[in-house]
Structure formats: structure tokens, C-alpha cells
Amino acid sequence: MFQVLGDKRIFYGWFVVAAGSFALFVSMGARNGFGVFINPMEADAIWESRAAISAVIGLGTLVNALTQPFLGSLYDKYGGRVVISASLLLLGTSTITMALAGTYGPEFSVSVLGLFDLTNSLLFMLIIYSVVMSTASSGVSLVTVHAMLSKWFHHKRGMALSVATAGTSAGGLLLTPFASFLILSSHWRFAWIALGAFVIFLALPIALLILRDSPDQVGDVPDGDQDDGTDEGRQRAAQRQAAVGQKTPLETTVWQDSLRSPPFWQLSGAYFVCGVTTIIISAHYVPFAIDLGITPGVAALAFGFMQGLNAVGVIVVGFLSDRFSRKNLLGTIYFIRFLAYVMLVTPGFMMMLWGFSIPPSIGIWSFAVLAGMSWIATPPLTSSLTADIYGVRNIGTLNGLSTMSHQIGGSLSVFMAGVLYDITGSYEFPFAIAGLFLLGATLASFSVNERKFSIRYQTPRAAAASAEAD
């Protein structure tokens, strides 16, 4: 189950990384590119207000949040290959079904809390997008992919998780503009069908063929550190053997015990803010840019560019995270994202407060650069720190709980943005509120006592290496 290049063996774990990354590529591209569908579906009267569609997206994010621990526990019980493959099948089918929105049944209207009217089209979207797609996405997410890769990699965990995470940004970089192109050249219904086909006919077969739950299923060990007879191979094998049985101070048999320690809440609290500040952008960045007078094509290009920079940022962070303090990198990234939000809202507020005009494209593209470098760099760091501090025995459940906080934050921010938009007519205020939360995430990340609890600091070799890096 491995390939040979010259006289060097390619560790099979890197094929698992590639398959996991591709699964994230199509699943995140299919679901998180919803922003480009808002205006064309609104033009076809699928809904009446931004608050209505924000409720659909927000509920979907909330369902995704609440099902993350459940799918994480299924991962811990049945393994990633089963959970990810089944979820891909359900995700692809529901994505194709989204093309049927607004094509059936008599019209009806029921007011919900006086904020919007629930029509048959919205009810359909609440079922398909908010419930089915969102639940399936929990099974093809960073929770399950990161949990699987944490068992394949120990020494190179940060890099492996980061490379896989780059698949999410590639989905935004390629599939979001592609969906926008299909919408402009054909119709939004055809775009949904095409995205679902990518999931079913590309990602699903690859997952079934390549994914394996742990190295021992292919007769290997984490990081491929086998004794191959060379001096380097013997050294790697000796280091791996010395680490066998090594536990962190907070590693437990029962996952509930992890909730009694500060790092879990520090990481989950910061991850809550990560959800607040990323999912609101996934839903409202393109409409915000269009409202400022930027064409739909350029708005989608800016969003895709931001997703492309995600891949650069996450790979750089992955390289650094295996050499330096992960919690310090995490805090720095949250602060960079705070600066991105400052750039995004400054032109609008300057016009409102002082009548001083700044081209809106400056804020849009400045945000794309700064947020792009920091957007998805936080998930692999959060997952790596969780595995380093609590071990991999219950990593699926713990990742699921952290991601639940992330998604709850996102669902609240998406709905807040839609309501405030309908009240104020602009996105500056909800974006400013979201950006201020990032200061709290920065402080929470820097305060994690990584040196005391992480496995990287428990063995003599790791402690020496980490001390030298710091």
C-alpha cells in the first residue's frame, strides 16, 4: 500500500492527505460557495428578503454545528472511511436536489417572528440545505479529516493537517468562480447540479479507494517511521518507540474529562470567534461587494482570490507549526484577521461619519489579502493543539465539540448580518461587530499553556527541539 520513487518509499499517509484534501475541496466548494447563489435566486423570487435567506443559512450552520459532535463520535466508533464516504453520497445528492427550489407546490406564506415570511420555497431550502446538506457536511469536514490524519502523523502533524485543510480554500478558489460562471452562462439550477456531480462522481470514488483509518491497516506506523536499515531509519524508529506510551498531563480515556480543563475552552472559545468571522463572510461578502457597486464577476473573483490565498497561508502556517509554538501562531493569525476587518469596514464608516470617499474596492481587496492569509490557518492549528494536548483516543468527539462552537458562532453571525442589513441597509455594522470579537480570540489563544500540556513538550527530544525553536 505504498509507492516507491527511486529508492525512497512514499509514506501512504500522504495519499490519505491527498484524498482527504480532495473530499474537503468538493464538499466545502459545494456548500460554502452559497454566496454566489444569493442574488440570482433572489431575482427568481425564491425568497423575499435577506433576513429570510440568512435564516436558511444560519439554521444550516446551526444544524451543522449541533451534528459535529455526533459525526465526530461516529468517526471514533466506525472510522473515517465509512463516515466520510457515506456523508459524501448524501451531500452530493442533496446538492443536486437544491436545483428544484421553487419549482413545485402552491404558494403559502407564514410570518416567522415578524422578520420574514416562510414560503414553500423557503421550507424546501430549510429541509434540503439547512438540515440534509448541513448534516452531511459534518461528516465531510475538518472534524473527520483532521481526526483521521492525527492518527497517521505525529511529528509532521501540523503540516499534514494544513495540506489537507488547503483543500477547503481550493474549493473556494476554483468551484466558487466556476459556479458563478455556470450561473452567468446557464442558470443557477444547473450550477447546483454540476456541484453535486463533482461530489458524487469524483470525491466519493476517491475516498472509497484511498482512505484508510490508521497506518496499521496498511502495515505501517505514524509518519512512516519504520526501521528501513539505514541510520536515519533506525533513528526514526527509535524515536517513535521512545514515544510509545507517552501521555500528556490531560490525556484521558473518557472524553467528558477533557471538558474540565482550561485549554479545551480556550481553544473552543477562540474557534467560536473563528466561526463568527468566517461564515458571515462566506454568506455576505459577495452581496456586500455587489451592493458597493462591484460587478458580480469581480466580487466572485475577489472571493475566489481570498480562498486561493488561504492555501498559501495554511501551508506556510503548517510548515511553521511543526517548528514553533502553535498557540502563538494561532493568536497571531487571529490578530491579522482583526486587521483585515478593520480594512473592510473603514471605507464605509469614513463615508458615513465624515463624507470622505475611499474606493470600495480598496476595502474589498485589502480584506481578501489579509483574511485570505489567515482564514483557514486556524483549523489545523486548533485540531493539532487538541490532539497534542488530549491525545487521539477521542479526537473525533473533541474536534466535533470545538467545531460545534465554531458553527454556532457562524450561524449567529450570519443571521445577525441579515437582520442588521434589513434594518440599516448596509453590512458595515455587523462586520464591525464580528471584527471586534477577534481581539478576544487573540487573547484566548495566547493564554493556552502549551508548554505544560502538549505532547510536544513531554519527551526529552521534543522538549529540547521546542525549546530551541522558541
CATH number at residue 58: 1.20.1250.20
Give, in order, the Cα–Cα distances in Å from 441 to each of 253, 333, 387, 450, 468: 29, 10, 20, 16, 27
Flag whether 222 is in a domain: no
Q: Which residues pair with 110 in a beta bridge?
A: 118
| Total tally of structural domains belonging to the chain | 1
- Residue pair 458/390 in contact (Cβ under 8 Å)? The answer is no
- Residue pair 346/366 in contact (Cβ under 8 Å)? The answer is no
CA distance 417 to 289: 14
Flag whether 83 is in a domain: yes
Say which residue the cell 493543539 belongs to: 385
* pLDDT value, residue 336: 94
Query: Is the whole-model pTM more than 0.85?
Result: no
- Residue pair 431/341 in contact (Cβ under 8 Å)? The answer is yes
* pLDDT value, residue 211: 94
Say which residue the cell 473527520 belongs to: 144
* pLDDT value, residue 203: 92
Flag whether 227 is in a domain: no
Q: Which residues pair with 3 in a beta bridge?
A: 10
Enter the C-alpha cell of residue 181: 460562471
- Nearest Cα neighbor of 302 from 21, 43, 36 is 36
Flag whether 266 is in a domain: yes
Q: Are strands 116-118 and 110-112 parallel, antiparallel or unpaired?
A: antiparallel
From first to last of its 470 residues, what are the pLDDT tens digits of the chain?
444 444 457 889 999 999 999 999 888 777 767 778 888 887 776 766 777 777 787 788 788 888 988 998 999 889 899 999 999 999 999 999 988 887 765 555 554 544 445 556 778 888 889 899 999 999 998 889 988 998 898 888 888 998 898 887 777 678 878 888 888 888 888 999 999 998 999 999 999 999 998 888 888 888 776 645 555 555 555 555 545 456 777 887 778 888 889 999 999 999 999 999 988 888 788 888 888 888 888 888 888 788 778 788 888 988 898 888 999 999 999 999 999 999 888 876 655 555 556 677 788 888 999 988 888 889 999 988 998 898 888 888 898 899 888 888 888 888 888 888 888 888 888 999 999 999 999 999 999 998 888 888 775 444 444 444 44
Say which residue the cell 474606493 belongs to: 359
Give, in order, the Cα–Cα distances in Å from 304 to each of 257, 376, 378, 381: 41, 14, 19, 23
- Residue pair 80/213 in contact (Cβ under 8 Å)? The answer is yes
Q: For the stretch 43-58, what's the b/e string if a residue is b when 16 or more beta carbons lie within 10 angstroms of its beta carbon?
A: eeebbebbbbbbbbbb
CA distance 354 to 144: 49
* pLDDT value, residue 233: 54
Flag whether 393 is in a domain: yes
Flag whether 404 is in a domain: yes
Question: Residue 413 carries which side chain, given as an amino acid letter?
Answer: S
- The H-or-E segment that residue 111 falls in is strand 110-112
Q: Which domain holds residue 415?
A: 11-216+252-469
Flag whether 128 is in a domain: yes
CA distance 380 to 360: 32
Flag whether 75 is in a domain: yes
- What one-character DSSP code corresponds to residue 247? -
